[in-house]
A and B are shown apart, each in its own frame.
Chain A
Amino acid sequence: MTALRIVIDVLIAISAIFALAGTIGVLKMPDAFSRMQASTCIPTLGTICALLGALLYAIFFKNGDAGSAVKIAVICLLILVTNPIGSHILAKGAYKAGIRPEKKMETDDLGRDLYD
């Protein structure tokens, strides 16, 4: 059981590290789109590792508490399905509303083809 406990703790530590990376990115990146990119770290590995740890905990330390385990799995699934749609529409909306990075982008095919 101790080994399992260590695995759970390591998973939650990894998730904390990636959430920290995402937060640093959100605070330090130069423009809106790059900030959005950095924030993707948080819902992917940040949340998935924490939920995986919680799932293992619910299964092995709570005597196979099926209700909690299934709810954790559903949370994980819902985050994975809804998060990309949200960031996709945010990025598109920001671009449509006329937000551009201060430093000119390397290539900007979207502006060339559709908006400018």
Chain B
Amino acid sequence: MRKTTFPAILATFVLCFAFWVLLTWSFTMQELIAGGVVSLAVALFSARFFIHEKAFWFANPAKFFSGLFYWLCIFPIELVKANLNMAKICFTGCKKINPGIVKVPVDLQSEYGQAALANSITLTPGTITMETAEEDGQNYFYIHWIDVTAPSGKEAGDAIKGTLEKGLRRVWK
């Protein structure tokens, strides 16, 4: 079992409390104190499952702004492109598909980075991350791809996640 660190508890507490405030959206003292107590309890118990690395990576402005750029600019463009592609396949009768599961190498070491990349891949229509694996220090994703156009390995990786990974590598190594 991993140890609970103070920054991890603090970060989880801030997240829970922010959600509480957003959901209730009332600023009376009573509500805020109740939310604080509940968030603290949740943070104490769940921080060690949640955060295993540096909790306040976004305190570095360069990383913060490249993260913002990724989530507001790079990722939505990829999302719209993939959505248009998928809509085209669906409206033309779902005939031109060629599904398969490919194994692609991933150049991210950090847990946050891998989670963000896997979720981004799954959110874009046409690709779903099914499994992760580590072999000899190199991380791999198994990705179900609706239209396999490149052989497994680096080429498929570039076709699926080239832009996404480049954007994420500026935030997490």
Partners in one complex: yes
B residues 70-92 touching A (CB-CB < 8 Å): 79-80, 83, 86-87, 89-91
Note all chain A residues with C-beta closer than 8 A to B148. Answer: 106-107
Query: Looking at the complex, which one of A34, A66, A84 makes contact with B25 (CB distance below 8 Å)?
Result: A66
| CA of A106 to CA of B150, assembled, Å | 11
Write out, one digit per residue, whether chain B residues 82-126 have a CB within 8 A of any chain A CB (1) or not (0). 010011011101100111111100000000000000111011111
Contact between B100 and A105, CB atoms less than 8 A apart? yes
B residues 23-46 touching A (CB-CB < 8 Å): 23, 25
Contact between A41 and B125, CB atoms less than 8 A apart? yes
The reply to whether the CB of B128 lies closer than 8 angstroms to some CB of chain A is: yes
Closest Cβ of chain B to A92, distance in Å, is 5
For the side of the interface on B, what is the size category? 35 or more
Chain B residues with a Cβ under 8 A of chain A = 19, 22-23, 25, 79-80, 83, 86-87, 89-91, 93-94, 97-103, 118-120, 122-131, 133, 142, 144, 146, 148, 151-152
Chain A residues with a Cβ under 8 A of chain B = 17-18, 21-22, 24-25, 28-31, 33-34, 36-38, 40-41, 44-45, 66-67, 70-71, 73-74, 80-81, 83-85, 87-88, 91-92, 95, 101, 105-111, 113-114
